[in-house]
């Protein structure tokens, strides 16, 4: 395996809320995504979701309050907890989650990316 440079990987795409897979470790996928605007309220019944922000501000809306992450900040959304990612300006973040994790859980919206389309870059 060659080392992975996140800035170089982020330069390869422009779409928002469209996770790209960059590595696999212990059955979990390391994904990066850009965010701007709002995704959709959803939860993952069986998977925790680790977020680390590298650029911008990622707000994770929860039913009982929001958490806003800047560069160098991380958060784990526990399985089953409803959340809605939001970013006012273009935001770059990394996720680590099991390969089974559906993009927007059981919710299907226009923004939903089919898990089989989450391409490696």
Binding stretches for its own copies (CB under 8 A): 1-7, 22-26, 28, 30, 47-50, 52, 54, 67-69, 72-76, 78, 94, 96-98
Q: Cβ of residue 73: shortest distance to its own copies, in angstroms?
A: 5
Cβ proximity to its own copies, 69 vs 84, nearer residue: 69
Least spacing, CB of residue 118 vs its own copies, in Å: 17
Contacts for 78-83 with beta carbons within 8 Å, 24 or more apart? 78/48, 79/43, 79/44, 79/45, 79/46, 79/47, 79/48, 80/43, 80/44, 80/45, 81/43, 82/41, 82/42, 82/43, 83/41, 83/42, 83/43
User: Closer to its own copies at the Cβ: 39 or 96?
Assistant: 96
């Amino acid at each position: 395996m060659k080392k992975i440079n996140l800035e170089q990987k982020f330069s390869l795409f422009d779409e928002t809320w469209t996770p790209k897979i960059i590595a696999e470790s212990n059955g979990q996928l390391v994904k990066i995504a850009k965010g701007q605007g709002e995704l959709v309220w959803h939860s993952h019944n069986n998977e925790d979701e680790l977020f680390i922000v590298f650029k911008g501000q990622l707000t994770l809306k929860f039913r009982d309050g929001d958490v806003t992450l800047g560069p160098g900040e991380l958060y784990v959304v526990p399985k089953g907890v409803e959340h809605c990612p939001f970013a006012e300006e273009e935001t770059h973040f990394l996720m680590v989650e099991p390969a089974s994790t559906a993009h927007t859980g059981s919710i299907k919206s226009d923004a939903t990316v089919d898990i089989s389309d989450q391409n490696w870059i």
